[in-house]
Amino acid sequence: MQEINSLISSFIKELDYEPILQMYERISTGKMLRSKLIMAIAGSSENAINLCAIVEMIHLASLLHDDVIDEADTRRGTPSINALYGTKDAVMLGDVLYSKAFSKLSGFAPEISNKISNAVAGLSVGELMDVRLGDGFSVDVEAYWRMIYLKTAILIEASAYSAAVLAGFDADKFGVYGKSLGLAFQIIDDVLDITQSSEVLGKPALNDFSEGKTTLPYIYLYERLGESDKERLKSLYKKSLSYDEVMWLKKVMRESGAINECVNRAKTLAAEALEAISEYKNEKLQSIIKNMIDREF
Ligand code: FPP
Ligand code: MG
Protein backbone atom coordinates (compact mmCIF):
# COMPACT_ATOMS: atom_id res chain seq x y z
CA MET A 1 0.00 0.00 0.00
CA GLN A 2 2.99 2.26 0.73
CA GLU A 3 4.19 1.80 -2.85
CA ILE A 4 0.80 2.90 -4.16
CA ASN A 5 0.79 6.02 -1.99
CA SER A 6 4.31 6.90 -3.15
CA LEU A 7 3.20 6.50 -6.76
CA ILE A 8 0.27 8.86 -6.16
CA SER A 9 2.69 11.40 -4.61
CA SER A 10 4.94 11.12 -7.65
CA PHE A 11 1.97 11.72 -9.99
CA ILE A 12 1.09 14.82 -7.97
CA LYS A 13 4.70 16.04 -8.04
CA GLU A 14 4.51 15.95 -11.85
CA LEU A 15 2.06 18.86 -11.54
CA ASP A 16 4.86 20.92 -10.02
CA TYR A 17 2.74 23.00 -7.63
CA GLU A 18 3.68 22.65 -3.97
CA PRO A 19 0.29 23.61 -2.39
CA ILE A 20 -1.33 20.62 -4.07
CA LEU A 21 1.17 18.22 -2.50
CA GLN A 22 0.77 19.88 0.89
CA MET A 23 -2.99 19.49 0.78
CA TYR A 24 -2.76 15.93 -0.51
CA GLU A 25 -0.53 15.02 2.44
CA ARG A 26 -3.23 16.14 4.87
CA ILE A 27 -5.64 13.50 3.55
CA SER A 28 -5.58 10.53 5.91
CA THR A 29 -5.32 7.18 4.16
CA GLY A 30 -8.18 4.75 4.50
CA LYS A 31 -8.39 0.99 4.23
CA MET A 32 -7.58 1.06 0.49
CA LEU A 33 -10.10 -1.70 -0.15
CA ARG A 34 -10.04 -1.17 -3.92
CA SER A 35 -6.24 -1.55 -4.09
CA LYS A 36 -6.30 -4.66 -1.90
CA LEU A 37 -8.86 -6.11 -4.27
CA ILE A 38 -6.89 -5.26 -7.43
CA MET A 39 -3.67 -6.72 -5.99
CA ALA A 40 -5.43 -9.84 -4.71
CA ILE A 41 -6.60 -10.45 -8.28
CA ALA A 42 -3.77 -9.14 -10.46
CA GLY A 43 -0.73 -9.34 -8.15
CA SER A 44 1.84 -6.54 -7.85
CA SER A 45 2.86 -6.01 -11.47
CA GLU A 46 3.63 -2.45 -12.59
CA ASN A 47 0.27 -2.28 -14.37
CA ALA A 48 -1.59 -3.46 -11.29
CA ILE A 49 0.12 -0.88 -9.04
CA ASN A 50 -0.65 1.88 -11.56
CA LEU A 51 -4.27 0.80 -11.68
CA CYS A 52 -4.41 0.87 -7.86
CA ALA A 53 -3.04 4.42 -7.79
CA ILE A 54 -5.56 5.55 -10.44
CA VAL A 55 -8.54 4.03 -8.63
CA GLU A 56 -7.42 5.39 -5.23
CA MET A 57 -7.04 8.90 -6.71
CA ILE A 58 -10.54 8.73 -8.18
CA HIS A 59 -11.91 7.44 -4.87
CA LEU A 60 -10.12 10.19 -2.89
CA ALA A 61 -11.44 12.82 -5.32
CA SER A 62 -14.98 11.55 -4.88
CA LEU A 63 -14.63 11.71 -1.07
CA LEU A 64 -13.25 15.26 -1.21
CA HIS A 65 -16.27 16.33 -3.25
CA ASP A 66 -18.62 14.28 -1.08
CA ASP A 67 -17.38 16.01 2.08
CA VAL A 68 -18.09 19.38 0.45
CA ILE A 69 -21.57 18.22 -0.60
CA ASP A 70 -22.30 16.71 2.84
CA GLU A 71 -20.64 19.67 4.62
CA ALA A 72 -18.65 17.10 6.63
CA ASP A 73 -16.00 18.42 9.03
CA THR A 74 -14.33 15.08 9.64
CA ARG A 75 -13.15 12.17 7.53
CA ARG A 76 -11.52 9.06 8.98
CA GLY A 77 -11.21 10.67 12.40
CA THR A 78 -9.31 13.75 11.18
CA PRO A 79 -10.47 17.13 9.87
CA SER A 80 -11.74 16.97 6.28
CA ILE A 81 -9.91 18.93 3.57
CA ASN A 82 -12.88 21.32 3.29
CA ALA A 83 -12.67 21.93 7.05
CA LEU A 84 -8.92 22.60 6.82
CA TYR A 85 -8.67 24.59 3.58
CA GLY A 86 -12.25 25.55 2.67
CA THR A 87 -14.61 24.19 0.05
CA LYS A 88 -12.95 25.85 -2.95
CA ASP A 89 -9.61 24.15 -2.34
CA ALA A 90 -11.31 20.83 -1.58
CA VAL A 91 -13.21 20.92 -4.88
CA MET A 92 -10.10 21.87 -6.84
CA LEU A 93 -7.92 19.24 -5.17
CA GLY A 94 -10.58 16.69 -6.14
CA ASP A 95 -10.47 17.99 -9.72
CA VAL A 96 -6.68 17.66 -9.81
CA LEU A 97 -6.77 14.11 -8.44
CA TYR A 98 -9.37 12.72 -10.77
CA SER A 99 -8.13 14.47 -13.92
CA LYS A 100 -4.57 13.27 -13.27
CA ALA A 101 -5.99 9.79 -12.69
CA PHE A 102 -7.77 9.93 -16.06
CA SER A 103 -4.60 11.04 -17.80
CA LYS A 104 -2.84 7.94 -16.42
CA LEU A 105 -5.86 5.76 -17.21
CA SER A 106 -5.63 6.73 -20.89
CA GLY A 107 -2.49 4.58 -21.12
CA PHE A 108 -4.50 1.41 -20.37
CA ALA A 109 -6.31 -0.84 -22.87
CA PRO A 110 -9.79 0.44 -23.87
CA GLU A 111 -11.52 -2.45 -22.06
CA ILE A 112 -10.09 -1.14 -18.79
CA SER A 113 -10.22 2.60 -19.45
CA ASN A 114 -13.86 2.36 -20.61
CA LYS A 115 -14.88 0.27 -17.62
CA ILE A 116 -13.29 2.62 -15.08
CA SER A 117 -14.40 5.87 -16.74
CA ASN A 118 -17.98 4.63 -17.10
CA ALA A 119 -17.90 3.66 -13.44
CA VAL A 120 -16.90 7.21 -12.49
CA ALA A 121 -19.81 8.60 -14.52
CA GLY A 122 -22.04 6.16 -12.58
CA LEU A 123 -20.46 7.27 -9.32
CA SER A 124 -21.44 10.85 -10.04
CA VAL A 125 -25.01 9.85 -10.94
CA GLY A 126 -25.16 7.84 -7.69
CA GLU A 127 -24.07 10.85 -5.65
CA LEU A 128 -26.75 12.98 -7.33
CA MET A 129 -29.36 10.32 -6.52
CA ASP A 130 -28.16 10.23 -2.92
CA VAL A 131 -28.56 14.00 -2.64
CA ARG A 132 -32.03 13.87 -4.29
CA LEU A 133 -33.12 11.04 -1.98
CA GLY A 134 -32.02 13.26 0.89
CA ASP A 135 -34.68 15.83 -0.01
CA GLY A 136 -37.14 13.97 2.17
CA PHE A 137 -37.75 10.81 4.22
CA SER A 138 -37.80 7.98 1.62
CA VAL A 139 -38.50 4.28 2.12
CA ASP A 140 -38.18 3.46 -1.58
CA VAL A 141 -36.01 0.36 -1.31
CA GLU A 142 -35.49 0.03 -5.10
CA ALA A 143 -34.17 3.60 -5.25
CA TYR A 144 -31.82 2.78 -2.34
CA TRP A 145 -30.38 -0.30 -4.14
CA ARG A 146 -29.86 1.61 -7.38
CA MET A 147 -28.22 4.50 -5.55
CA ILE A 148 -25.76 2.35 -3.52
CA TYR A 149 -24.87 0.32 -6.61
CA LEU A 150 -23.83 3.52 -8.37
CA LYS A 151 -22.41 5.42 -5.42
CA THR A 152 -20.36 2.59 -3.94
CA ALA A 153 -20.41 -0.74 -5.76
CA ILE A 154 -19.81 0.33 -9.37
CA LEU A 155 -16.19 1.47 -8.83
CA ILE A 156 -15.41 -1.67 -6.80
CA GLU A 157 -16.99 -3.75 -9.59
CA ALA A 158 -14.93 -1.93 -12.23
CA SER A 159 -11.74 -2.36 -10.16
CA ALA A 160 -12.22 -6.11 -9.83
CA TYR A 161 -13.20 -6.44 -13.49
CA SER A 162 -10.17 -4.47 -14.69
CA ALA A 163 -7.77 -6.38 -12.44
CA ALA A 164 -9.12 -9.62 -13.92
CA VAL A 165 -8.51 -8.26 -17.44
CA LEU A 166 -4.90 -7.54 -16.44
CA ALA A 167 -4.54 -11.07 -15.04
CA GLY A 168 -6.20 -12.74 -18.04
CA PHE A 169 -9.10 -14.14 -15.94
CA ASP A 170 -12.85 -14.19 -16.67
CA ALA A 171 -13.52 -10.50 -15.99
CA ASP A 172 -17.32 -10.83 -15.79
CA LYS A 173 -17.05 -13.25 -12.87
CA PHE A 174 -14.75 -10.89 -10.99
CA GLY A 175 -17.10 -8.04 -11.81
CA VAL A 176 -19.90 -9.93 -10.05
CA TYR A 177 -17.60 -10.48 -7.07
CA GLY A 178 -16.81 -6.75 -6.93
CA LYS A 179 -20.41 -5.66 -7.30
CA SER A 180 -21.71 -7.97 -4.57
CA LEU A 181 -18.81 -7.04 -2.29
CA GLY A 182 -19.51 -3.35 -2.89
CA LEU A 183 -23.20 -3.65 -2.08
CA ALA A 184 -22.46 -5.68 1.07
CA PHE A 185 -19.81 -3.15 2.09
CA GLN A 186 -22.28 -0.24 1.83
CA ILE A 187 -24.96 -2.07 3.84
CA ILE A 188 -22.43 -2.81 6.57
CA ASP A 189 -21.32 0.82 6.54
CA ASP A 190 -24.98 1.82 6.98
CA VAL A 191 -25.39 -0.62 9.89
CA LEU A 192 -22.19 0.50 11.65
CA ASP A 193 -23.38 4.12 11.50
CA ILE A 194 -26.16 3.02 13.86
CA THR A 195 -24.51 0.40 16.06
CA GLN A 196 -21.01 1.86 16.66
CA SER A 197 -19.71 4.81 18.69
CA SER A 198 -18.28 7.94 17.08
CA GLU A 199 -14.82 6.96 18.45
CA VAL A 200 -14.90 3.70 16.49
CA LEU A 201 -16.31 5.34 13.36
CA GLY A 202 -14.00 8.36 13.22
CA LYS A 203 -17.07 10.51 12.46
CA PRO A 204 -20.27 11.31 14.36
CA ALA A 205 -22.42 8.24 15.11
CA LEU A 206 -26.03 8.02 13.83
CA ASN A 207 -24.96 10.57 11.27
CA ASP A 208 -26.71 9.21 8.17
CA PHE A 209 -30.29 9.88 9.26
CA SER A 210 -29.49 13.37 10.51
CA GLU A 211 -27.71 14.05 7.17
CA GLY A 212 -30.98 13.07 5.43
CA LYS A 213 -29.96 9.55 4.36
CA THR A 214 -32.73 6.99 4.83
CA THR A 215 -30.42 3.97 4.62
CA LEU A 216 -31.47 0.30 4.48
CA PRO A 217 -31.72 -0.19 8.28
CA TYR A 218 -34.15 2.77 8.44
CA ILE A 219 -36.18 1.43 5.50
CA TYR A 220 -36.46 -2.03 7.15
CA LEU A 221 -37.20 -0.42 10.51
CA TYR A 222 -40.01 1.69 9.07
CA GLU A 223 -41.62 -1.41 7.51
CA ARG A 224 -41.57 -3.12 10.92
CA LEU A 225 -42.91 -0.33 13.16
CA GLY A 226 -46.53 0.31 14.17
CA GLU A 227 -48.27 3.53 13.06
CA SER A 228 -47.32 5.76 16.02
CA ASP A 229 -43.69 4.60 16.03
CA LYS A 230 -43.55 5.19 12.25
CA GLU A 231 -44.53 8.81 12.94
CA ARG A 232 -41.95 9.05 15.71
CA LEU A 233 -39.25 7.79 13.35
CA LYS A 234 -40.22 10.30 10.65
CA SER A 235 -40.16 13.12 13.22
CA LEU A 236 -36.47 12.36 13.94
CA TYR A 237 -35.43 12.66 10.28
CA LYS A 238 -32.71 15.31 9.75
CA LYS A 239 -32.81 16.23 13.47
CA SER A 240 -29.94 16.33 15.89
CA LEU A 241 -31.02 13.70 18.41
CA SER A 242 -31.39 13.92 22.20
CA TYR A 243 -29.95 11.15 24.40
CA ASP A 244 -33.43 9.58 24.78
CA GLU A 245 -34.04 9.64 21.04
CA VAL A 246 -30.68 7.95 20.37
CA MET A 247 -31.51 5.25 22.92
CA TRP A 248 -34.98 4.71 21.42
CA LEU A 249 -33.59 4.45 17.88
CA LYS A 250 -30.87 1.98 18.86
CA LYS A 251 -33.41 -0.11 20.79
CA VAL A 252 -36.02 -0.35 18.02
CA MET A 253 -33.33 -1.00 15.41
CA ARG A 254 -32.31 -4.12 17.37
CA GLU A 255 -35.70 -5.25 18.67
CA SER A 256 -37.51 -4.94 15.34
CA GLY A 257 -34.90 -7.14 13.65
CA ALA A 258 -34.02 -4.36 11.16
CA ILE A 259 -30.30 -4.59 11.96
CA ASN A 260 -30.30 -8.39 11.72
CA GLU A 261 -32.12 -8.27 8.42
CA CYS A 262 -29.48 -5.90 7.00
CA VAL A 263 -26.62 -8.06 8.27
CA ASN A 264 -28.28 -11.10 6.69
CA ARG A 265 -28.66 -9.28 3.36
CA ALA A 266 -24.96 -8.36 3.50
CA LYS A 267 -24.04 -11.98 4.29
CA THR A 268 -26.09 -13.26 1.36
CA LEU A 269 -24.35 -10.80 -0.97
CA ALA A 270 -20.97 -11.85 0.44
CA ALA A 271 -21.81 -15.50 -0.29
CA GLU A 272 -22.84 -14.55 -3.84
CA ALA A 273 -19.53 -12.73 -4.30
CA LEU A 274 -17.56 -15.81 -3.26
CA GLU A 275 -19.72 -18.11 -5.38
CA ALA A 276 -18.96 -16.06 -8.53
CA ILE A 277 -15.22 -16.71 -8.29
CA SER A 278 -15.21 -20.05 -6.43
CA GLU A 279 -13.30 -21.85 -9.22
CA TYR A 280 -10.28 -19.55 -8.65
CA LYS A 281 -9.79 -20.57 -4.99
CA ASN A 282 -8.31 -17.15 -4.22
CA GLU A 283 -7.69 -17.01 -0.45
CA LYS A 284 -7.04 -13.26 -0.40
CA LEU A 285 -10.41 -12.55 -1.96
CA GLN A 286 -12.02 -14.90 0.53
CA SER A 287 -10.39 -13.13 3.47
CA ILE A 288 -11.42 -9.67 2.19
CA ILE A 289 -15.02 -10.89 2.47
CA LYS A 290 -14.44 -12.64 5.80
CA ASN A 291 -12.87 -9.54 7.41
CA MET A 292 -15.86 -7.50 6.34
CA ILE A 293 -18.55 -9.89 7.54
CA ASP A 294 -17.12 -11.73 10.57
CA ARG A 295 -17.41 -8.99 13.18
CA GLU A 296 -19.64 -7.69 15.93
CA PHE A 297 -22.41 -5.44 14.74
C1 FPP B 1 -19.55 8.73 0.11
O2 FPP B 1 -20.86 8.57 0.49
C3 FPP B 1 -19.53 9.11 -1.34
C4 FPP B 1 -19.13 8.34 -2.38
C5 FPP B 1 -18.64 6.97 -2.17
C6 FPP B 1 -19.16 8.82 -3.81
C7 FPP B 1 -19.10 10.30 -4.03
C8 FPP B 1 -19.11 10.63 -5.48
C9 FPP B 1 -19.04 11.88 -6.00
C10 FPP B 1 -18.93 13.10 -5.17
C11 FPP B 1 -19.06 12.00 -7.49
C12 FPP B 1 -17.87 12.79 -8.02
C13 FPP B 1 -16.75 11.94 -8.47
C14 FPP B 1 -15.47 12.38 -8.68
C15 FPP B 1 -14.47 11.43 -9.23
C16 FPP B 1 -15.00 13.75 -8.37
P17 FPP B 1 -21.42 8.88 1.96
O18 FPP B 1 -21.57 10.35 2.13
O19 FPP B 1 -22.66 8.07 2.10
O20 FPP B 1 -20.34 8.25 2.91
P21 FPP B 1 -19.37 8.91 3.97
O22 FPP B 1 -19.98 8.65 5.28
O23 FPP B 1 -18.07 8.17 3.79
O24 FPP B 1 -19.25 10.37 3.67
MG1 MG C 1 -20.50 11.80 2.97
Identity of the amino acid at 286: Q
Neighbour count for residue 114 (Cβ, 10 Å): 14
Q: What is the average per-residue pLDDT within 67-89?
A: 93
Across the chain, mean pLDDT equals 94
Which pLDDT score is estimated for 76? 85
Confidence of residue 293 (pLDDT cuts 50, 70, 90): confident
Taking the CA of 190 as reference, the closest ligand is: 1
Residue type, position 43, single letter: G
> 67 and 75 in contact (C-beta within 8 Å)?
yes
Give me the pLDDT at residue 232, please: 96
Residue 204 has pLDDT above 80, yes or no: no
Cα(134) to centroid of ligand 2, in Å? Answer: 12
Does residue 114 line the site of ligand 1, with CB under 6 A? no
Q: Which of 29, 5, 26, 22 is nearest to 79 (CA)?
A: 26
**Arithmetic mean of pLDDT, 176-204:** 90
Residue 189: nearest ligand to its CA? 1
Asked whether 151 lines ligand 1 (CB < 6 A), one says yes
The pTM (predicted TM-score) of the whole model is: 0.93
pLDDT tens digits for 262-281? 999 999 999 999 999 999 98
Q: Is residue 94 in contact with ligand 1, taking CB distance under 6 Å?
A: yes
- 261: CB partners within 8 A, 6+ apart: 220
Domains and CATH numbers, the chain: 1-108 (1.10.600.10), 109-297 (1.10.600.10)
| Residue scoring higher pLDDT (104 or 30) | 104
pLDDT of residue 20: 96
Ligand lying nearest the CA atom of residue 76:
1
Q: Whose CA is nearest to atom 8 of ligand 1?
A: 62
Mean pLDDT of 284-291: 91
| Ligand 1 in reach of 124 Cβ (< 6 A) | yes
The percentage of residues in the chain with a pLDDT greater than 90, rounded to a whole number, is 86
For residue range 143-184, list pLDDT tens digits in order.
999 999 999 999 999 999 999 999 999 999 999 999 999 999
